[in-house]
Amino acid sequence: MKLDACAYRPWRGRLRSPIWRFWPIARSGLSLMFKRKIFWFFLLIGLLNFLFYFAVIYTLTRLKAEFALQGRKLPEFVQRFLFTETGDSYRQFIYAQNIVLMLMLAFCGALLIGNDFRFHAVAFYLSKPITRLHYFLGKLLAITALAALITLLPALALFIEYGVFTDSIEYWMDHSRLLFAILGYGALVSLAPAVVLMGVSAWFRRTIPIIAAWAGLFLFLPYVGSTLRNFFRKTGGGDPWGWSLLDFWANLRWISSVLFGAQLDRYEERWPWAALVVGAWMALAVWVFWRRVGKTEVVL
């Protein structure tokens, strides 16, 4: 019997370039996450902070307008309040998301990568005409996009909000550097932990060890770093800031000083060290991931 008679038809559409082969992996990863209630729970927690900042911006701009009408200036402490139009505010917002981001990513890692290794699904992927790189990029894109949902995108929304509540587009024009800084820091905060997560998930595979190791890395090490730094500051004088390099989030924040051009951070000149540490973590994670995927047996 001819294949046509069995209702088989050759693909008549246009095939995309091979480089796009990572896209279905990313898309299926995203749809898998969106189907999980617990993901929405974390997303909601992540967006609570956004709603709070959103309300603060609204209140501040209203107050500013009211005070301007009365020919008065906002009190100094209000102007220095939690969220103003400065770059440091957006940076602070993204930094404040780190705990929820850590928890959400722990879940993503267990579901999107750990399960692939545990239930031997990696072999299914690699039995298709894709390489390790496509698999890596697909998963990375999915995780980064999810992370961006609670970091980069809300920060951009706040930036837009601030501009909308002013009388002209001057705010955006005057602070155009902020837009790129938000994009840069948001992308960094979404991408760097996602890469590390891929290594951790590929190494540990099972949910409980992944979450334990992940929490250790992103909660325990920062805690150790701050304890040591405080201890040596109190007992020896000076500021042994090097201990804070154990804190992944602090490293990312230091790197962001360059993007924002912020002067408020006392340690901005230390960003090259921070970049080195973050780069080392990411390189280690990629190496682990690469080796793990390489060990997957594909019988063709």
Partner 1 sequence: MMVFIRAWIFLILYSARRQLRSRKVFIAGGLLALTAGLVALMALRRGMTPEFFGEWVVVRLFGLFIFPLLMLIFGAGALADDRDEGTLVYLITRPLARWGIYLGKFLSVLPAAALFGIGGFWLLCQAGRLSDPEELQGIFERFAAAFLFAAPAYLALFHFFAAAFRHSMLISVTYVFFVEVFIGNVPGILKRVSIHFYTSSMVYEAGEAIGVQPPSRIIFQPLEGDLARWVLLGIALGFLLLGSWWFNGYEERERGV
Residues that bind partner 1 (CB under 8 A): 38, 99, 103, 106-107, 110-111, 114-115, 204, 206-209, 211-213, 215-216, 219-220, 223-224, 227-228, 230-232, 235-236
Q: Are 249 and 94 in contact (CB under 8 A)?
A: no
Closer residue to partner 1 in complex, CB, 64/118: 118
Residue 205 backbone zone (phi > 0: left; psi -120 to 50: alpha; other: beta): left
Distances in whole angstroms, Cα of residue 106 to Cα of each of 57, 126, 138:
31, 24, 18
At its nearest, how many Å lie between partner 1 and the CB of residue 111?
Answer: 5
At its nearest, how many Å lie between partner 1 and the CB of residue 116?
Answer: 11
Mention every residue, 6+ apart, whose C-beta is less than 8 A from residue 265. Answer: 88, 253, 254, 257
Q: Are 144 and 112 in contact (CB under 8 A)?
A: no
- Give the span between the Cα atoms of 238 and 166, in whole angstroms: 44
At its nearest, how many Å lie between partner 1 and the CB of residue 226?
Answer: 10
User: 37-69 and 152-164 helices cross at what angle (nearest 10)?
Assistant: 20
At its nearest, how many Å lie between partner 1 and the CB of residue 4?
Answer: 40
- 119: exposed, middle or buried (C-beta count within 10 Å: 0-12, 13-18, 19+)? exposed
At its nearest, how many Å lie between partner 1 and the CB of residue 217?
Answer: 11
Mention every residue, 6+ apart, whose C-beta is less than 8 A from residue 262. Answer: 87, 88, 91, 256, 268
At its nearest, how many Å lie between partner 1 and the CB of residue 228?
Answer: 7
Q: What is the DSSP code string of 192-207?
A: HHHHHHHHHHHHH-SH
- Give the span between the Cα atoms of 157 and 263, in whole angstroms: 24
Closer residue to partner 1 in complex, CB, 187/219: 219
Closer residue to partner 1 in complex, CB, 110/137: 110
At its nearest, how many Å lie between partner 1 and the CB of residue 73?
Answer: 32
Closer residue to partner 1 in complex, CB, 125/159: 125
Closer residue to partner 1 in complex, CB, 94/103: 103
